[in-house]
Amino acid sequence: MSIQYEEPALARSYGVVDSFPKDFGYGVEEPDIEEESTTSGNSKPRILLMGLRRSGKSSIQKVVFHKMSPNETLFLESTNKIYKDDISSSSFVNFQIWDFPGQVDFFDPTFDYEMIFRGTGALIFVIDAQDDYVEALGRLHLTVSRAYRVNPEINFEVFIHKVDGLSDDHKIETQRDVHQRANDDLADASLEKLHLSFYLTSIYDHSIFEAFSKVVQKLIPQLPTLENLVNIFISNSGIEKAFLFDVVSKIYIATDSSPVDMQSYELCCDMIDVVIDVSCIYGLREDGNGSAYDKESLAIIKLNNTTILYLKEVTKFLALVCILREESFEKKGLIDYNFHCFRKAIQEVFEVGSLTQRTGRLQLQPSSSNNSLSSVKLGVLNGSAV
pLDDT bucket at 176, cuts 50 / 70 / 90 = very high
Q: What is the largest CA-CA distance in the chain?
A: 67
1, pLDDT greater than 60: no
Of the listed ranges 47-56, 225-234, 346-355, 357-366, the one predicted with least confidence: 357-366
Of the listed ranges 59-63, 165-169, 235-239, 375-379, the one predicted with least confidence: 375-379
Which domains, and CATH codes, for the chain? 46-219 (3.40.50.300), 222-357 (3.30.450.190)
Note the pLDDT of residue 129: 94
Note the pLDDT of residue 149: 92
Note the pLDDT of residue 287: 64
Note the pLDDT of residue 299: 92
Amino acid identity, residue 310?
Y
**pLDDT tens sequence across 336-353:** 999 999 999 998 887 775
How many other C-beta atoms are found inside a 10 Å radius of the C-beta of residue 141? 20
Of the listed ranges 33-37, 78-82, 138-142, the one predicted with least confidence: 33-37
CA 105 to CA 2: how far, in whole Å? 52
Of the listed ranges 11-25, 105-119, 239-253, the one predicted with least confidence: 11-25
14, pLDDT greater than 60: no
**pLDDT tens sequence across 305-335:** 899 999 999 988 899 999 999 999 999 999 9
**pLDDT tens sequence across 178-209:** 999 999 999 999 998 999 999 999 999 999 99
357, pLDDT greater than 90: no
CA 47 to CA 85: how far, in whole Å? 10
Note the pLDDT of residue 79: 73
pLDDT bucket at 36, cuts 50 / 70 / 90 = very low
Q: Are 14 and 270 in contact (CB under 8 A)?
A: yes
pLDDT bucket at 367, cuts 50 / 70 / 90 = very low
pLDDT bucket at 248, cuts 50 / 70 / 90 = confident
Conformational region of residue 285, where left means phi above 0, alpha means psi within -120 to 50, and beta covers everything else = beta
Partners of 94 in the beta sheet? 88
Note the pLDDT of residue 354: 62
Amino acid identity, residue 108?
D
Note the pLDDT of residue 152: 95
Sheet of 30-31: strand order equals 30-31, 83-88, 94-99, 46-51, 122-128, 155-161, 196-200
**pLDDT tens sequence across 83-92:** 888 887 666 7
pLDDT bucket at 288, cuts 50 / 70 / 90 = low
Q: Are strands 94-99 and 46-51 parallel, antiparallel or unpaired?
A: parallel
Note the pLDDT of residue 381: 43
Whole-number mean pLDDT of the chain?
81
Of the listed ranges 68-72, 82-86, 230-234, the one predicted with least confidence: 82-86
Strand, helix or coil at 165?
helix
Q: Are strands 83-88 and 94-99 parallel, antiparallel or unpaired?
A: antiparallel
Rg of the chain in Å (alpha carbons)? 21
Note the pLDDT of residue 157: 97
Alpha helices in the chain (DSSP H): 57-66, 113-118, 134-150, 168-188, 207-217, 223-235, 262-278, 326-329, 332-359, 366-385
φ and ψ of 279, to 5 deg? -65, -35
Nearest to 200 by CA among 184, 228, 218, 177: 177
Task: Tell me which of 63 and 362 has the higher pLDDT.
Answer: 63
Note the pLDDT of residue 103: 73
Partners of 239 in the beta sheet? 324
Note the pLDDT of residue 164: 92
Percent of the chain with pLDDT strictly greater than 90? 51
CA 102 to CA 367: how far, in whole Å? 45
pLDDT bucket at 33, cuts 50 / 70 / 90 = very low
Strand, helix or coil at 236?
coil
Q: Are 160 and 198 in contact (CB under 8 A)?
A: yes
What does the DSSP assignment read for 283-340?
IS-TTS-S-SS-TT-EEEEEETTSEEEEEEE-SSSEEEEEEEEHHHHTTHHHHHHHHH
pLDDT bucket at 74, cuts 50 / 70 / 90 = confident
Mean pLDDT of 295-308: 90
Note the pLDDT of residue 5: 46
